[in-house]
Every structure is written in structure tokens, then in C-alpha cells.
């Protein structure tokens, strides 16, 4: 069972998301109306995935996502917004979100994103993926590339192989089939790789690999 926390300042949106998240493998364990409440609810309910609105009063979704990413055992965060602008997408990724959806996404995409992030995979809408990759390709700073390359050099051969597969957009299950190991082993190598290079999500790892030019 995948435990989900729904965070949005609009009670109608929260009710709608509850209605969408009704498959047998999903359980909405709580709700929150702002980032402060979200952090408190995570400690209380221990969700696997948080559906996080980005624009909320008091503490917004970006700050809440960063706070959750800093926890010892953080939930996966799927950021949601009505305004999928470049700045919103990049802010969410940099804060540690594992997924990004526009609020007008289909119910099927919302459920798929929750399942993907719960499995340790990432989920980006097509626009979000284009924005992230455009930022990487447009980055003119040689120092940024060198820094990324230095971090990637700390990885073992197997960790780098898995990091490259993540940058290709493969899921943990697909990586496991490619390298002939279990999904649990993939998750272990992936966690070690992320710790070594100092990133909090597979999306950030993919960006780092692309920036280093080793994808």
C-alpha cells in the first residue's frame, strides 16, 4: 500500500485529489493546507509520497519540499502547480522534488506519478523534462561542468552505470533488467550514488550526469 499525503491550500483540490487517489494500492493518510502543516503531517503519518502544491500561504511548497528532503528518511515529493513556469519547475527540482505535474494533468498521470515516485523513480511532465534539459544544455559555466565531473568521478563503475541509466529516463525496474541485478540492488547503488554527489532526488542526479557530459 502506498501512503499519500495531499498538500494544497484549496480544500476543493484536496477533495478532488482524494477522489483520484482511489486505486486499491493507494491510501491518502492525511492532508495539509500549507508547508508548515505538511512537515508536521509527514512526521505524524509517515507517507511514502507527498503531493505538494507549490503556491500556498505562510510556508510555500518549495520551502516545504526542501525541508522534507533534508529528513533522514524523506518521502518522495510530487510537486503540483497551476503555473508550470520555468522558474517553478527548476525551483521544485532544486528543492528535491522527485516529480512535477501541472494541476490540469489527467487522473491517470497523477496516479502514475505517485506510483513511480513511490517506487523510487522520477516523474516529469513533458514540459518539465524539456525545461530541465534546456537548462542543462544552456549552462555556459565551465566551472559548473567541472564541478559536476568531479562529483561523478567519486562514483564506482556500477554506480556510474546506474546514474547514466537514470539520466536516460529508465525506471529502477528497467535498470535492473539491463544490468542483471534486483531492483533492491539498483536502489542501494542509486542511494549511494546520490549520497556521494550530494543530491536528493534522481531528477537532480540526471541533471548532474548530463551536466558532467557522461550521460
In this predicted model, what pLDDT tens digit does every residue of 76-126 receive, in sequence order? 999 998 876 777 888 888 899 999 998 888 999 999 999 999 998 888 876
* Stated pTM of the model: 0.76
Closest listed residue to residue 60, CA positions, set 30, 26, 24, 97: 97
Q: In 3-state terms, what secondary structure has residue 22?
A: coil
Order of strands across the sheet that contains 123-124: 26-32, 2-7, 49-53, 76-81, 99-102, 123-124
Burial classification of residue 55, based on how many CB atoms lie within 10 Å of its CB (0-12 exposed, 13-18 middle, 19 or more buried): middle
**Per-domain residue ranges of the chain:** 2-133, 139-212
Please identify, in words, the CATH class of the domain defined by 2-133: alpha beta
Other CB atoms within 10 A of residue 3 CB = 17
Sort residue 213 into left (φ over 0), alpha (ψ -120 to 50) or beta.
left
Encode pLDDT of 157-194 as tens digits.
999 999 999 888 888 889 999 999 999 999 999 999 99
For the domain spanning 139-212, the CATH number is 1.10.10.10
Amino acid at each position: 500500500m502506498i501512503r499519500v499525503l495531499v498538500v494544497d491550500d484549496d480544500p476543493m483540490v484536496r477533495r478532488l485529489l482524494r477522489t483520484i487517489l482511489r486505486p486499491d494500492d493507494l491510501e491518502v493518510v492525511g492532508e495539509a493546507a500549507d508547508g508548515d502543516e505538511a512537515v508536521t503531517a509527514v512526521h505524524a503519518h509517515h507517507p511514502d509520497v507527498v503531493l505538494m502544491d507549490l503556491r500556498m500561504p505562510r510556508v510555500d511548497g518549495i520551502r516545504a519540499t526542501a525541508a522534507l528532503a533534508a529528513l533522514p528518511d524523506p518521502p518522495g515529493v510530487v510537486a503540483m502547480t497551476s503555473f508550470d513556469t520555468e522558474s517553478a519547475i527548476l525551483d521544485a527540482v532544486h528543492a528535491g522534488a522527485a516529480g512535477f505535474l501541472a494541476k490540469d494533468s489527467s487522473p491517470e498521470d497523477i496516479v502514475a506519478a505517485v506510483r513511480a515516485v513511490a517506487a523510487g523513480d522520477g516523474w516529469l511532465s513533458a514540459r518539465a523534462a524539456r525545461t530541465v534539459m534546456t537548462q542543462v544544455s544552456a549552462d555556459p559555466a565551465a566551472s559548473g561542468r567541472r564541478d559536476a565531473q568531479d562529483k561523478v568521478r567519486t562514483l564506482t563503475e556500477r554506480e556510474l552505470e546506474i546514474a547514466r541509466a537514470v539520466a536516460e529516463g529508465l525506471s529502477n525496474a528497467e535498470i535492473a533488467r539491463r544490468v542483471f541485478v534486483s531492483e533492491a540492488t539498483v536502489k542501494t547503488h542509486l542511494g549511494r550514488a546520490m549520497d556521494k554527489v550530494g543530491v536528493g532526488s534522481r531528477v537532480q542526479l540526471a541533471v548532474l550526469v548530463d551536466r558532467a557530459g557522461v550521460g
